[in-house]
């Protein structure tokens, strides 16, 4: 066998070995499972605080809630202002006893005792 033929034979053998190696690596890569996302520690939830029923609010809390929601400080709550009330015992329609489109402080406070 001449040198050139030996070189070609070695080249073919090397090429075949490279293909086999690549095929094996490809199979190994394809068989790998995606890494599972890290698990987060379980933190116990804080106990949920239940809203207090209307009769459990203090007079001071009721006054403060009304004053904070009354943005124009006219002593009445519009429908939009009642959206800002922290303590809303009833719907706007139920609190607006005289159906004039606003809830006065008296109507608001009366909604807590009904």
pLDDT digit of tens for each residue in the chain (114 aa)?
A: 566 566 666 656 565 666 565 566 556 555 666 666 666 565 555 554 444 555 678 889 999 999 999 999 999 999 999 998 888 888 999 999 999 999 999 999 999 885
- Domain assignment present for residue 84? The answer is yes
- Domain assignment present for residue 39? The answer is no
Burial class from Cβ neighbours inside 10 Å (0-12, 13-18, 19+) for residue 77 reads buried
Burial class from Cβ neighbours inside 10 Å (0-12, 13-18, 19+) for residue 95 reads buried
- The Cβ-side half-sphere exposure at 107, using a 13 Å CA radius, reads 20
- Domain assignment present for residue 43? The answer is no
- Domain assignment present for residue 51? The answer is no
- Domain assignment present for residue 87? The answer is yes
- Domain assignment present for residue 36? The answer is no
Predicted structure pTM score = 0.52
For the chain, what is the domain count?
2
Task: State which residues form the domain around 21.
Answer: 1-28
- Domain assignment present for residue 45? The answer is no
* Residue 66 and residue 24 share a domain: no
């Amino acid at each position: 066998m001449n040198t050139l033929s030996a070189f070609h034979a070695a080249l073919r053998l090397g090429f075949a070995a490279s293909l086999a190696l690549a095929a094996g690596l490809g199979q190994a890569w394809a068989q790998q499972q995606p890494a599972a996302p890290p698990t987060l520690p379980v933190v116990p939830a804080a106990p949920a605080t239940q809203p207090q029923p209307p009769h459990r609010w203090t007079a001071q809390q009721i006054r403060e809630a009304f004053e904070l929601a009354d943005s124009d400080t006219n002593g009445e709550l519009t429908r939009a202002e009642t959206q800002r009330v922290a303590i809303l015992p009833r719907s706007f329609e139920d609190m607006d006893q005289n159906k004039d489109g606003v809830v006065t402080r008296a109507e608001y406070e009366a909604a807590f005792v009904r």
